[in-house]
Amino acid sequence: MNPLHTGGRERARVLDPVERASEVVFGLLMALTFTGAVSVATAGREEVRTMMAAALGCNLAWGLVDAVMYVVRVAAERSRAAKLLARLRVTTDASAAHDLIADVLPSRVRAAAGADVLETLRQGLLAADASTTRWLLGRDDILGALGVFLLVVVATFPVVIPFAVFDTTPVALRISNAAALVMLFASGWALGRYAGASAWLSGLVMTALGVLLVGAIMALGG
């Protein structure tokens, strides 16, 4: 999200690829901390059922938290955009207005943007309809929050369903881990393609990073 976005034309995707991949990986890692704690040698069906319920309950809770924080972030950034536009409307000095716009640009863009680019942005923002800077939540904001919630929760199922399907815990655990690795790789692949990097390398790096993070979370008592 960008404070320069004033809401006139909604983006085609409610959640961008980075947001989607991040929520999937987050939900997946949370679920793996529960499945990774299952003892292959001693786990009975009751213990497995408890693990499945705990994993789903945890991701339901964190999905809700993430969804609420998504809405908070949208409201904060929209308020920032509205205040920027309000300041631009009362700033008569073009140089000062350029500084205001430059402050909210990414550092690399700010370094490359000359006075002509900043002036074009200023004129475009001043021409924007003031009503588009409303802070009230819209349809896409609600859909975005719902998407965040569902991504975190749905990421739980591929790693816990094997325990419901297979009676043998070692088999279920192997299939669960395989599903998790595939999901981590797919998330990294998607991020790599979005970033213009090597999709294969990004997938492998995300897989390795996910395994390390799960190990660290479990070691820290998560």
Which amino acid is residue 25, in one-letter code?
V
Nearest to 143 by CA among 56, 85, 74, 216: 74
CA pair distance 154, 28, nearest whole angstrom: 9
> Stretch 86-111: mean pLDDT, rounded?
84
Can you give the residue ranges of every domain in the chain?
A: 17-165
Is residue 5 scored above 80 in pLDDT? no
**% of the chain residues with pLDDT over 70:** 86
Is residue 105 scored above 60 in pLDDT? yes
- pLDDT, residue 153, reads 92
CA pair distance 13, 215, nearest whole angstrom: 33
> Stretch 75-100: mean pLDDT, rounded?
84
- pLDDT, residue 41, reads 46
> pLDDT of 52-67, one tens digit each?
888 889 899 999 999 9
